[in-house]
Amino acid sequence: MPLAVVAVSVQQPVSSDHQLARLLQIGVVLEEVVEARAGEHARTMEVDDPELEALLAEAAEESAGHREQLEDLIDDLEADTIPFEEIKGLVRAQYESEADFDGVLYDQLCNEETAYKFYDDLIAAIEDSDAALSVDRAQLIETLSSIREEEAEGVEEVTELMEKRE
């Protein structure tokens, strides 16, 4: 077995409500980054491309939906979430315009793949954890799994569009 897939971690990352809330906050920020970057791409793009614009709008809408689901979970853990306006400002401050189709699409692919990887690792960490959590574990995993599924579909959609334009 390759070493990279050894599941044992030095520390268990989900050993309390606090740590779970922190990871969900990171999920919220990732979704906010996706949403804000999609918005920046759409705002600054120099090409007129309705298909790509529709993809970006859909990605932003999907991220907003995921963010709300994560925020509900964070709320159940009695933790705070991160205001979207704050992240939007940070994204805008460091954003470097992707003027062409390939750049925008590649960034979108990274967004979807990264989000998928994050949820996949988070679900595995929750499943590995034997900590007592104050949220319903089955419900938590179900919610995260459905978000992960949508991220996988997102990867497929972007890949299909990339292949179509080759």
Binding footprint of another protein on the chain (CB under 8 A): 3-6, 8-15, 19, 22-23, 25-26, 29-30, 33, 37, 82, 86-87, 90-91, 93-95, 110-111, 113-114, 117-118, 121-122, 125
From the CB of 129, what's the least distance to another protein, in Å? 10
CA of residue 144 relative to chain centroid, distance: 11
Which of 3/138 has CB closer to another protein? 3
**What whole-number distance in Å separates Cα of residue 96 and Cα of residue 46?**
13
Q: How far is the CB of 37 from another protein (least distance, A)?
A: 8
User: CA end-to-end span of the chain, whole Å?
Assistant: 36
90/152 with CB nearer another protein: 90
**Secondary structure letter of residue 165 according to DSSP:** T
CA angle 16, 21, 22 (to 5 degrees): 100
93: Cα separation from own chain's centroid: 20
Closer residue to another protein (CB): 15 or 69? 15
Give the nearest distance from C-beta 10 to another protein in angstroms.
Answer: 5
